[in-house]
């Protein structure tokens, strides 16, 4: 876990990475970053608003913890990013100017080889999908 306090943001997080709000008991930090133990991948970020960003390096279906390492991508490629507004929006009405709108999960697909002799770069994206919004597909020469 790593924490930081940015000058332009209010301290709302304590030493344990829990959201305590502006002026809350132990509020020292504006951002917390969690890394998983195997590859040191960034798996979660909590910002000063209480907005949680999850970075998934495996298929997130059926998982609640992005750092559990289940079914990791063998090339350690980012598979999706999702956002959790539940902490950020607690006690806020949808009309409040501080209310954070939900965002679509973004999923990344990478090129695959048809056979081991294919000369394809499997680290290149083949598509990016914003859940229920759009899909962008890439082609390469």
Q: What is the pLDDT of residues 6-60, one digit of tens each?
A: 888 889 999 888 899 888 899 999 999 999 887 888 999 999 999 999 998 876 5
Same domain for 12 and 67: yes
Same domain for 96 and 37: yes
Which of 39, 31, 38 lies closest to 1 in space, CA to CA? 31
62 Cβ contact partners less than 8 Å away, ≥ 6 residues apart: none
Same domain for 55 and 116: no
The number of folded domains in the chain is 2
Segment holding 44, helix H or strand E: strand 42-47
Same domain for 93 and 73: yes
Residues spanned by the domain of 41: 1-103
Which of 5, 75, 14 lies closest to 41 in space, CA to CA? 75
- The Cα-based distances of 94 to 10, 12, 24, 97 in angstroms read 22, 21, 23, 8
Same domain for 115 and 63: no
pTM: 0.80
Whole-angstrom Cα distance, residue 124 to residue 109?
A: 9
Same domain for 9 and 60: yes
Q: Give pLDDT tens digits for 23-37.
A: 889 999 999 999 988
Same domain for 90 and 31: yes
Average pLDDT, the chain: 87
Same domain for 120 and 89: no
Same domain for 118 and 59: no
């Amino acid at each position: 876990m790593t924490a930081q306090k940015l000058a332009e943001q209010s301290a709302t997080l304590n030493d344990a990475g829990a959201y305590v709000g502006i002026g809350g008991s132990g509020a020292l930090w504006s951002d917390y970053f969690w890394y998983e133990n195997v590859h040191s991948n960034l798996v979660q970020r909590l910002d000063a608003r209480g907005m949680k960003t999850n970075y998934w390096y495996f298929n997130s279906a059926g998982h609640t913890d992005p750092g559990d390492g289940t079914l990791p991508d063998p090339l350690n490629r980012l598979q999706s990013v999702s956002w959790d507004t539940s902490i950020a929006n607690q006690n806020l009405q949808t009309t409040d100017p501080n209310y954070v709108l939900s965002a679509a999960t973004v999923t990344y697909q990478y090129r695959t080889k048809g056979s081991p002799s294919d000369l394809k770069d499997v680290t290149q994206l083949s598509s990016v999908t914003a859940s229920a919004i759009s899909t962008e597909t890439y082609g390469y020469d």
